[in-house]
């Protein structure tokens, strides 16, 4: 829930994913309805705006709006969305750009016909590209890098859209998993680093669908699912699925590790790795590190009576932690899954209740117990303390906090909103100082090595928010955050 008085999410200290995308070619189906249900399955990737564009081989229509997929789309608003080709988008936006003008897809008329684009990610050189286009006389109606990409595609030379996309990819630096709609084709495009997921599947009735997550494809009944590989452009149209390696992939890849830690649904499988399994192993590795005293020599191991997750993303990790540590697992919090999805601001008295608006404690499961609370991450540190307080008020004797990733001390410029360094609790603070700040009896973070062991990989994942080592060089004066400050 966004609180305009404090300019923050009252009950939420997780990083925010910027979007989910879907694209469908289905010759004998109501493609708008399919896109709606696909977007529904991607709702967790963005709750602030949704949209879809549909083409019938000749014309293109679009509908988008602020709010949840079920608010934006009604039988009425979908009545004119007819055709065989569609793309859709769910959006989370940063504070400065939460407006309808930034909702996606972006649709424009070009010399080559209508063009629409929906994007998950963030171009780190968008300010520079935007300036170049403006110097050439191009005007913009939004502050979004997606509009920059749309305008570049419209202006690029080349006989086919594939050629124009390939030319643009050579200039785009950063994270982009895209779906592009023309009057008679859907294109799926992934950046050469592979930052964000994008997968493709075969529809039971013929045709194909592409989406940020496998779960959305399974909702549509797809099988034969494969990833769109880094640097690829895949065309979905009347012709068979066409795959082009538009630009070489970067080795090693830089898949966002946070997809596994927090963003993706547990049923997501990405590059052959299932998210639920990773989360369980993150909990197992964390328990091993705590037992070995790797993080805090003095503790050796946590002596506790119960392991509880902060629902929902930490449930598999808590199961894994319990399995390795031998400390029994139980539910401690009940989460109201709907309160964080409202645009109605709380009254002052309700605001003071903070996370208590979203979480209730099952008192009987924590009273007189030494509790280990498992959570996926701490960014600003504004939620952990209140959660600990809820447990103490419910009678917990001790509260230890175990986090399934390393301390987050660096911003993300590849499409995830974590804020800047000065707002991060781990910036310039030791683990013990953070423990004191949140009021825990113990605080334990998983190491980078432990995280990679859980992924069963040595490399191939971006870890920049933990290490500060970005897979692409970042010019701070040229990234989106700086750019939005100028244009707000």
Candidates 19, 185, 199, 405; catalytic one: 19
For the segment 187-216, give every residue that binds ligand SF4 (CB under 6 A): 195
For the segment 9-38, give every residue that binds ligand SF4 (CB under 6 A): 15
Distance in Å, CB of 258 to ligand SF4, minimum: 4
Region binding ligand SF4 by CB under 6 A among candidate stretches 89-97, 251-259, 295-303, 358-366: 251-259
State the Cα torsion 219-264-266-366 to the nearest 10°: -130
Does residue 117 interact with ligand SF4 by CB under 6 A?
no
Does residue 379 interact with ligand SF4 by CB under 6 A?
no
Looking at 26, 86, 465, 472, which residue binds ligand SF4 (CB under 6 A)? 465
Contact 399, 389 (CB under 8 A): no
Phi, psi of 40 (to 5 degrees): -55, -40
Does residue 414 interact with ligand SF4 by CB under 6 A?
yes
Does residue 464 interact with ligand SF4 by CB under 6 A?
yes
Residue 15 or 354 having the CB closest to ligand SF4: 15
Residue 394 or 479 having the CB closest to ligand SF4: 479
Does residue 39 interact with ligand SF4 by CB under 6 A?
no
Region binding ligand SF4 by CB under 6 A among candidate stretches 54-62, 143-151, 272-280, 409-417: 409-417
Distance in Å, CB of 249 to ligand SF4, minimum: 16
185 is catalytic: no
Does residue 402 interact with ligand SF4 by CB under 6 A?
no
Compose the 131-170 pattern: x for residues touching ligand SF4 by CB under 6 A, - for all others.
----------------------------------------
Looking at 412, 424, 425, 438, which residue binds ligand SF4 (CB under 6 A)? 412
Region binding ligand SF4 by CB under 6 A among candidate stretches 77-85, 110-118, 141-149, 459-467: 459-467
* Binding residue count for ligand SF4, defined by CB under 6 A: 12
Region binding ligand SF4 by CB under 6 A among candidate stretches 141-149, 159-167, 250-258, 321-329: 250-258
Distance in Å, CB of 424 to ligand SF4, minimum: 12
List of residues contacting ligand SF4 (CB under 6 A): 15, 195, 256-258, 412, 414, 416, 462-465
- Residues annotated as catalytic (active site), given as ranges: 19
């Amino acid at each position: 829930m966004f609180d305009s008085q404090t300019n923050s999410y009252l009950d939420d200290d997780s990083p925010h994913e910027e979007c989910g995308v879907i694209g469908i070619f289905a010759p004998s189906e109501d493609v708008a309805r399919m896109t709606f249900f696909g977007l529904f399955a991607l709702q967790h990737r963005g709750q602030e705006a949704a949209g879809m564009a549909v083409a019938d081989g000749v014309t293109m229509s679009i509908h988008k709006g602020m709010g949840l997929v079920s608010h934006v789309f009604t039988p009425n608003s979908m009545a004119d969305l007819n055709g065989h080709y569609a793309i859709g988008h769910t959006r989370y936006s940063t504070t400065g750009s939460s407006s309808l003008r930034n909702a996606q897809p972006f649709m424009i008329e070009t010399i080559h016909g209508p063009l629409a684009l929906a994007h998950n990610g963030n171009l780190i050189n968008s300010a520079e590209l935007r300036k170049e286009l403006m110097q050439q006389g191009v005007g913009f109606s939004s502050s979004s890098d997606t509009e920059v990409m749309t305008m570049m595609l419209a202006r690029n030379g080349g006989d086919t859209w594939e050629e124009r996309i390939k030319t643009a990819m050579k200039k785009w630096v950063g994270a982009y998993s895209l779906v592009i709609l023309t009057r008679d084709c859907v294109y799926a495009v992934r950046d050469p680093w592979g930052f964000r997921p994008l997968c493709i599947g075969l529809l039971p009735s013929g045709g194909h669908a592409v989406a940020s997550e496998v779960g959305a494809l399974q909702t549509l009944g797809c099988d034969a699912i494969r990833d769109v590989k880094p640097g690829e452009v895949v065309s979905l149209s009347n012709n068979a699925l066409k795959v082009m390696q538009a630009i070489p992939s970067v080795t090693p890849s830089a898949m966002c590790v946070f997809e596994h830690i927090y963003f993706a649904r547990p049923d997501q499988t990405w590059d052959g790795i299932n998210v639920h399994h990773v989360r369980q192993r993150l909990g197992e590795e964390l328990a091993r590190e705590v037992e070995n005293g790797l993080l805090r020599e003095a503790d050796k191991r946590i002596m506790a009576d119960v392991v509880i997750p902060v629902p929902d993303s930490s449930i598999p990790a808590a199961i894994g932690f319990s399995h390795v540590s031998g400390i029994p697992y139980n539910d401690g919090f009940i989460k109201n899954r709907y309160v964080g999805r409202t645009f109605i601001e709380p009254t002052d008295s309700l605001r003071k209740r903070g996370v208590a608006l979203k979480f209730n404690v099952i008192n009987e499961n924590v009273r007189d117990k030494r509790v280990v609370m498992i959570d996926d991450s701490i960014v600003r540190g504004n939620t952990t303390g209140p959660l600990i307080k809820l447990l103490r008020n419910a009678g917990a004797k001790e509260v230890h906090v175990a986090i399934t990733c390393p301390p987050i001390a660096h911003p993300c410029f590849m499409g995830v909103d974590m804020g800047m360094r000065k707002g991060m609790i781990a910036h310039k603070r030791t683990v013990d100082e953070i423990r004191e700040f949140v009021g825990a009896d113990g605080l334990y973070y998983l190491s980078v090595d432990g995280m990679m062991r859980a992924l069963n990989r040595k490399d191939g994942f971006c870890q920049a928010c933990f290490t500060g080592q970005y897979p692409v060089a970042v010019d701070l004066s040229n990234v989106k955050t700086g750019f939005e400050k100028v244009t707000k």
